């Protein structure tokens, strides 16, 4: 599989939503068995809050962990999703007194419920990898689905792969195609190649060699090493037997 994945350590970076723009524009419906904890009303991201968040991240980077923690806790009480995420990161990095996984997960869920896409994807990765808790593929795929719906390209690839392999969700080639197409349109090279392959083979959709050629060409232009050969092979097949 050419599907790309975000490394586990990516879940352990502090976030500046004002700079990185990681608040999602939408979120998928939550299941009854995997409902994030209720978040308080979202705090408006004013310039003053941006400065406070930036200062707290700077304090963390400079090793002033207690000061950073107190600032994040204050911002989290006001409903700032990024602050919940950063407290989770500090817990996972054992930078808080009595660091606990359950507390980190609660903060991640608060951030995710507030639309923080990185937290949604991080929860998916956490439950898939089993690095911090027992692997739970259905729960991981639920979070990947939410991240994907919020616009995370990594989430789109992850849930697409889940549907493609029937891993944590039922095998559904049409759903895999949908999410790979979303990631491909966003520029993910692995998704572009996989989408081309699905069009070529008729997985989740009728065979369409012209679209397969189109996406192999895009993947080739973006550096996929296998795509040029597939593109050229399809070009010969189409020339020899043009579709109606």
Asked whether 149 and 26 are in contact (CB, 8 A), the reply is yes
* CA 103 to chain CA centroid, nearest Å: 21
Q: If pLDDT is split at 50, 70 and 90, which confidence band does 101 have?
A: confident
- How high is the pLDDT of residue 22? 36
Q: If pLDDT is split at 50, 70 and 90, which confidence band does 15 have?
A: low
| Mean pLDDT value across residues 108-118 | 92
pLDDT at 244 over 80: no
The least confident of 46-60, 65-79, 141-155 is 46-60
What does the radius of gyration of the chain's CA atoms come to, in whole angstroms? Answer: 21
pLDDT at 74 over 90: yes
Question: SS3 string of the chain?
Answer: CCCCCCCHHHHHCCCCHHHHCCECCCCCCCCCCCCCCCCCCCCCCCHHHHHHHHHHHHHHHCCCHHHHHHHHHHHHHCCCHHHHHHHHHHHHCCCCCCCCHHHHHHHHHHHHHCCEHHHHHHHHHHHHHCCCCCCCHHHHHHHHHHHHHCCCHHHHHHHHHHHHHCCCCCCCHHHHHHHHHHHHHCCCHHHHHHHHHHHHHCCCCCCCHHHHHHHHHHHHHCCCCCHHHHHHHHHHHHHHCCCC
Provide the token pair at 183.
């990631």
Q: List pLDDT tens digits, range 167-205.
A: 999 999 999 999 999 999 999 999 999 999 999 999 999
Average pLDDT, the chain: 83
Q: If pLDDT is split at 50, 70 and 90, which confidence band does 86 have?
A: very high
| Rounded Cα gap, residues 221 and 199, in angstroms | 18
pLDDT at 211 over 80: yes
- How high is the pLDDT of residue 243? 74
| Mean pLDDT value across residues 9-36 | 35
């Amino acid at each position: 599989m050419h599907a790309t994945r975000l490394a586990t350590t990516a879940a352990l970076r502090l976030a500046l939503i004002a700079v990185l723009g990681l608040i999602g524009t939408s979120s998928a419906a939550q299941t009854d068995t995997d409902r994030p904890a209720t978040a308080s009303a979202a705090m408006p991201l004013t310039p003053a809050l941006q400065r406070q968040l930036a200062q707290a991240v700077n304090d963390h980077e400079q090793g002033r962990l207690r000061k950073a923690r107190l600032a994040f806790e204050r911002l989290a009480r006001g409903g700032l999703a990024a602050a919940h995420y950063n407290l989770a990161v500090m817990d996972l990095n054992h930078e808080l007194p009595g660091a606990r996984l359950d507390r980190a997960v609660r903060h991640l869920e608060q951030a995710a419920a507030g639309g923080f896409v990185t937290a949604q994807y991080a929860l998916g990765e956490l439950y898939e990898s089993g690095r911090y808790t027992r692997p739970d593929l259905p729960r991981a795929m639920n979070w990947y689905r939410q991240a994907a719906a919020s616009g995370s390209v990594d989430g789109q690839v992850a849930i697409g792969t889940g549907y493609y392999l029937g891993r944590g969700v039922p095998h559904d080639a049409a759903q895999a195609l949908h999410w790979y197409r979303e990631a491909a349109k966003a520029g993910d090279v692995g998704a572009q190649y996989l989408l081309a392959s699905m069009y070529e083979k008729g997985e989740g959709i009728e065979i369409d060699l012209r679209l397969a050629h189109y996406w192999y060409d895009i993947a080739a232009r973006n550096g996929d090493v296998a795509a040029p050969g597939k593109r050229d092979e399809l070009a010969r097949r189409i020339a020899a037997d043009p579709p109606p």
